[in-house]
Chains A and B, each alone.
Chain A
Amino acid sequence: GAVVSQHPSWVICKSGTSVKIECRSLDFQATTMFWYRQFPKQSLMLMATSNEGSKATYEQGVEKDKFLINHASLTLSTLTVTSAHPEDSSFYICSAPREPDRDSNQPQHFGDGTRLSIL
């Protein structure tokens, strides 16, 4: 089953609204989580690294005041898109690294993504 849970899966809202997306690691602790954005027919682009207990690290060109990240606990990171506009419409995906174990050598677990549509 899923080891990273992301909610909501789909958001449609008016321009100017702020939208919060949650990412939870379900059965392991994640001191670090990653947030990606994907536009149609493009690759995933890393937006920021969420660090538990400290400020997020943003990639070049990503506005930290626009995309607020809070890593409130060892199992929860949130991304808030503030005052969203149509150009913010995209697919947002979180991930968390996990040490490979006997069941899986997968180094990174992804949430199911959030499709954000701003009208």
Chain B
Amino acid sequence: GQSLEQPSEVTAVEGAIVQINCTYQTSGFYGLSWYQQHDGGAPTFLSYNALDGLEETGRFSSFLSRSDSYGYLLLQELQMKDSASYFCAVGFDYGQNFVFGPGTRLSVLP
């Protein structure tokens, strides 16, 4: 079967740096994506890693190690608006059949 693990909750203060980890056990792997979802909204794409290494997009970075079946999302200079749920998702083929992780609820405190 397919399974992904993420911490359920993370709390940090404004300006801090937070790392959200994702480990996966899947029968195939095409890439690891990260999505942000605010309450009541649809997922918003943040980052995608198909190859090992770090992808940087502004305040957000994502890392992948395929040999370790592990990735993380790094959020820098946290802002209140970053309070949301963050999901990692593994794609299995180019059709990108996704399986989502359980999500991490990030609370940013003033």
Interface residues of A, Cβ cutoff 8 Å to B: 32, 34, 36, 42-46, 49, 93, 95, 97, 100, 105-113, 115
Contact = CB atoms under 8 A, between A and B. Distances in A.
Determine chain A's interface SS by DSSP, over half rule: strand
B52 to A, nearest CB: 15
Given A43-B87, A43-B102, A43-B103, A105 B48 contact: yes
Contact of B100 (A44, A97, A106, A112): A44
Nearest to A104: B45
A105 B51 CA distance: 12
Contacts of A45: 100
26 contacts: A34-B98, A42-B103, A43-B87, A43-B100, A43-B102, A43-B103, A46-B99, A49-B97, A93-B42, A95-B98, A97-B94, A106-B45, A107-B30, A107-B48, A108-B33, A108-B89, A108-B96, A108-B98, A109-B45, A110-B45, A111-B42, A112-B41, A112-B42, A113-B41, A113-B42, A115-B40
Interface in B66-110: 87, 89, 91, 94-103
Given A106-B48, A107-B33, A108-B33, A44 B43 contact: yes
A42 B105 CA distance: 11
Nearest to A108: B96
Contacts of A97: 94-96
A107 to B, nearest CB: 5
Contacts of B48: 100, 105-107
Q: Can you list the 4 inter-chain pairs with the closest CB atoms, starting with the nearest?
A: A97-B96, A113-B42, A106-B45, A44-B100
Given A107-B31, A107-B48, A110-B35, 10 more contacts: A43-B100, A44-B43, A44-B87, A46-B98, A93-B43, A95-B98, A97-B94, A108-B96, A110-B43, A113-B41
Contacts of A106: 33, 45, 48
Contacts of B89: 108
A52 B45 CA distance: 25
Nearest to A51: B95
Contacts of B95: 32, 49, 97
